Structure 1
């Protein structure tokens, strides 16, 4: 596995490209919190030349002669910035500018500037925005970060690399869609999943808790997470290495070269992650008489590795394109499968590996026609995977062989030596049209096609036919049209309509028989959102949406490992309503959101000791609220706390549940937390000890209240299986030299080694320690 590190070595050559251009000056403008500021006026006084920063706070002045100059930057609500600089020998200079906030009283009206992320957070959308720049020096993946947001809970099926379910206001699993720059993350392959995606690749994370805007253009049922990748038009090299417990290694290497005179851009994003996941778990192992004995052992056969190399090149700020970039990437994973979904049976030799080769093009033009902006993305992926389940050995939790079967694998009755091949194509067209000053239309058309086939000689011998050779096909289209109108500075409305289409052609194997199925689905959805600002610091948001979510390829066709196919699934539908309030000042931010969901045809992962399968089982009612408070008494310290309560009740009749009576009606759904929260205290000093370096220290904690593993109405309450309450605490410190040229961080997680559990009572890692080194040259 370590050999893949050699893929990254040539990328270090990018550093040499960052020096030796034609004479120019460029940089980015940020505020004191590191948030990029668009629309800032930047000038070179001696030349009487001016520029305005773009949407990522970037500015540039090409074609400068040698000499002494003064650069100024001004923006409403911030103090004016001045700096002298010198150009020698036509060498380029990079000056990143940090503006300090200033409060200006104009007729008793206070005017404050807002960053792009603040504007989005206070827009008509019910969205939480998290800037990730401050987390670059830490050992974080996306799933580690988003669970700090109010209303969001992340549950994994094991250690690093294990699958993750995200809950947003009662919606969970695949009901919540994940996007990378507006493209569904699942399109990129398993090696680029939310559970392993490094924060160093992204600029910010947007969590939509209510209506999902048509810009994202997919069939999310009641929540979505959009990750915005880094788009800085500067030369840089960003490299980091993290070493942690359980033989965990994380390597990130990102570099970019910009020719500002010709407006050319090229770069590479890459990472490599590995973990043995050999943390301690409490299990039962049979003694010499076959009686189960409680014991604590280290997990075995649970290594996980994933990697990515993405190269891109293109142009920006041209007459024909604001941005035109072509990309080629190679990603993959190697995964040891340790146990079944409920952690009841250990596996000793089952493995799955996957690799994906992908190509894409991205085009953006702000004025493709008068008052009309266009964005288009197109790409294709080719994925190959191998699932191996051939051993006759039966293992105990300590890794010992205790028996030999006469037939069958550890998971399947046939045994498997399966190779899978899939092709995935996607296209997204987005148009924004401003026919008048206070109104904007948005049209988004998203289309995808998925095709998969396999080959398994061992299973073919068992069944008498290679069922896996039969192809499966899934075609989806999501079209959305929205209109946003500002009736005044206080009242903004957003109205949307969506159409969803699906054609699925697949099969299931039941009782040794091949059962094909082909279905076509067409559904509409509508949404309405309102935002009203009562005064400068206080606003309210309300929204309603009738949403549809189409089953995806894993739910319909299975993963050929732990999940069996079910091509007969129906789409989920949900009535969603949200009401929220925000109070925002410089020092204090308070947010309260209430939510209501009535969901039918819920696609539920039904598990057993040997396999799992998605099924349409339930109708459920969700009611709840989440609240978050952020307080920054001083520039160097920030406190944050949030809490969520979600009451998820069954609304299915006994004919659906299969019960002899209606005792499950209005019962709380099992195996889902209903009360949880997070807290953080962060200290950050930008000019530490007068050295222009930065020191940070933080404490964070997460709490999950106890909940039942199975239905609360069944059995004796005192004897029921309960997931206990969990209070996990983490701490960390980091130190960075000026301009982040070098930084080091130390992070102990699960500080007091508390037992942690997630999906189906699967045990999570205990106390761990991570050290991260990072260098950033620009």
Structure 2
């Protein structure tokens, strides 16, 4: 694009500059300073300055999550028309830029978020799960291949103790249509991972942290597309576009598709068949997923800063090979299908000279799903079928049509008391209802209804009030938060009784208070100290209460989790060398865990107490401009506390199962410019991931490995109960033609073809290779 310097008179010219990243995406709200003039880039990434011809110039550029620019020029003609900023994906910038978006408010610097910058790797054939697993203190748990059940471990907390958001909105309203397992990097700007307390704009009942998936925010006219193909007949494709009709009206959308046979080989779980077949191939594990979203909006009008209407649709067709807690029995006919149409509305406005801000989100939709298990017979791990005289591989036949109704309202109000103190209020309300039909469903005898016909309801409200403050300039920053939690639910308990009746209908409700305090102290320009403490509550979720009607029974006897959490961290940046070190402590009561029940069912139950502490470190080093090395590690000890039940007293001091206690990454990347032609780039990268052995059921502390922090030696427990040490090596390369917007990437995962497992010792894929093509039209 040609940028002109237009004469304004004998002594001045008008200079236009566009700011982009190295993916050629414009960067809006970047702060550009030339001598004593300062402006922010508009939606096209552009600024304009009126400059004197004869002056010398000092130009500075700042933008969140990008490295700053400082350059000097002797004449205006030497100032470049375009600047490209390099991603800084270590921690959020400490530069406070006043904007109209609450996500860039100063409280984001007080409560530290580990920013996973998806833009820097969007061209690579890398999954979001794999990318997050390279992040300090984060362990993504996935029970199989593409589309399988996914949870995340942060500082010892996992499952529903970690809450997920999309652009600051709780993610529940999108069902299974949008999650870590199926969202491509192409539609994301970044992922924010909060460990410990979370900021007010993400008000929720998270116990141990939160993950916020931030959508791509390109405001310039653009179309980009990608297609990926890999092992196990895996296909992933994505298209995203945005178009501005004028300065106010815009429209856009995104579409992505995931498909995989997931037919990788595993070690044979059958103790008899393993004598003749040590390896078997998964044969009923296909995953098919489609998601589309379209939006139209307006901004910078007298009555609104932004209003946007969205409409999403998704469809999932998923085969189930085994239960989520065991690979003992294979299934060849059980399926889980769902789809939904999801309208959304978002409105933003600032009033009274930008002192008061309002951000309102609304969504209502019905997720329609099918749970199918009607086969008269069973399969073994060789895929051989044996007929039986009754239906249901899981011993409980089903052919259910289920409607899940979701309503979500999120109201965020901010008020700037003065430049040093900002008050925030966030109220999030969720309503969920489940009902359906199943001709094979269990009957409630005295009601003459099947279980799924009885409506099950869940209501949750979280009100949070927060005050962010800056003291002594910006040397000390604090964030104080108070929360009020409330929920109620009504439904049928299926976890215990075989013969169900109206007496098994439970109605539960609870209220609770929580609080949190976060502090950030700037010791000097390169060194920050952070501390946070909270008394948190986590309400039982609708999945834990309702079950999933396939493998998880309902349990309305669950109590809210409670936890006192402390975090202390230090971070430093010296030139191209950066490091951070963080520690945490947890004291948790009534933790909710998934345990095996009557096979094939599992059920969520409360365990009485657990104590946890740990530490993590992260470092990165850039050598010259094109070489980068990084490493991180996490060690944590999450152990049971006192138990009232005599049968559970032996658990005291033992590790909470299914939680890795040590994992680490080391990696490197190198970039080479002008390899074959001008404006091309070749990137090579490698990552080695290690997970120390852990246990799928509790073992006595005396049976744990000896050695420093349990990092050496072998457990003396039952080998069937141990998930062994795991090492996974990923290698990749990417070639880009920047001028043409074309790139191709190749990645090999688990290059050493090691046996990899996750919680409950569910086996994952061996060596696999993936190829990704990208095209971008500006």
TM (normalized to structure 2)?
Answer: 0.86
Cα 1:508–1:122 change in 2 (3 A) is closer
1:598: which partner in 2?
Answer: 587
Cα separation, partners in 2 of 1:121 and 1:318, compared to 1, 3 Å: closer
**Alignment pair present for 1:418 and 2:400:** yes
The equivalent residue for 1:650 is: 640
Question: Deviation at 1:615?
Answer: 0.8
Is 1:485 the counterpart of 2:477? The answer is: no
Task: Describe the shift of the 1:666–1:237 C-alpha distance in structure 2 as closer, same or farther (beyond 3 A).
Answer: same
Alignment map for 1:535-574 (pairs within 5 Å)? 535-574=524-563
Match of 2:687 in 1: 700
| 1:456 corresponds to 2:438 | yes
Partner residue in 2 for 1:148: 134
Q: Secondary structure at the match of 1:78?
A: strand
Correspondence for 1:219: 205
2:183 to 187, 194, 197: 197
Unaligned 5+ runs, structure 1: 1-23, 62-70, 86-94, 102-110
Q: What's the secondary structure of 1:338's corresponding residue?
A: coil
2:294 — aligned with what? 311
Question: 1:475 corresponds to which residue?
Answer: 459
Contact 1:32 1:100 in 2 (8 A): no
Do the aligned partners of 1:29 and 1:53 also contact (CA within 8 Å) in 2? no
Q: Once the 2 structures are TM-superposed, how far is the Cα of residue 776 of structure 1 from its aligned partner?
A: 0.7
Question: What does the per-residue CA deviation read over 1:722-776, in whole Å, with 9 as the maximum and x for residues that have no partner?
Answer: 2110110000000111246110000011011011010111110000000000001
Distance 1:120 1:607, change over 3 A: farther
State the Cα distance separating 1:715 from its structure 2 match.
10
Contact 2:40 2:47 in 1 (8 A): no
Other-structure match for 1:358: 342
8 Å contact from structure 2 (residues 28, 40) kept in 1 = no
The separation in 2 between residues aligned to 1:493 and 1:114, in whole angstroms, is: 14
Task: Please name the residue that 2:449 is paired with.
Answer: 465
CA distance, structure 1, for counterparts of residue 673 and residue 574 of structure 2: 22
User: Could you say what secondary structure the match of 1:79 adopts?
Assistant: strand
The DSSP-based 3-state class of the residue aligned with 2:202 is coil
Q: Is the 8 A contact 1:182 1:215 kept in 2?
A: yes
CA contact (8 A) 1:35 1:115 kept: no
- Aligned match for 1:78, one of 45, 59, 70: 70
Distance 2:638 2:691 in 1: 16
1:622 deviates by: 0.6
Query: Which residue, 335, 344, 348 being the options, matches 2:332?
Result: 348
Q: Which moved more, 1:673-682 or 1:316-325?
A: 316-325
CA distance in 1, matches of 2:642, 2:558: 17
Q: Taking structure 1 as reference, are residues 356 and 349 closer, same or farther at Cα in structure 2, changes over 3 Å only?
A: same
Structure 2: runs of 5 or more not aligned: 1-14, 49-56, 63-68, 88-92, 704-715
Once the two structures are superposed, the pairs formed by residues 6-405 of structure 1 within 5 Å of their partners are 28-30=19-21, 36=27, 38-41=29-32, 52-53=40-41, 58-59=45-46, 74-75=60-61, 77-79=69-71, 97-99=83-85, 123-259=109-245, 261-285=246-270, 295-340=278-323, 341-367=325-351, 370-401=354-385, 403-405=386-388
| 2:629 paired residue among 639, 658, 682 | 639
Aligned to 1:12: none
Q: Which residue of 1 aligns with 2:614?
A: 624
CA separation in 1, counterparts of 2:380 and 2:233?
23
Return closer, same or farther for 1:42/1:255 CA change in 2, 3 Å cut-off. Answer: farther
Q: Which of 576, 586, 602 pairs up with 1:587?
A: 576
Q: CA RMSD in A?
A: 3.2
**SS at structure 1 position matched to 2:614:** strand
TM-fit CA distance, 1:635: 1.1
Distance 2:270 2:329 in 1: 11
CA change 1:284–1:474 in 2 (3 A) is closer
Deviation (angstroms), 1:322: 2.2
Deviation (angstroms), 1:118: 11
How many residues align structurally? 718
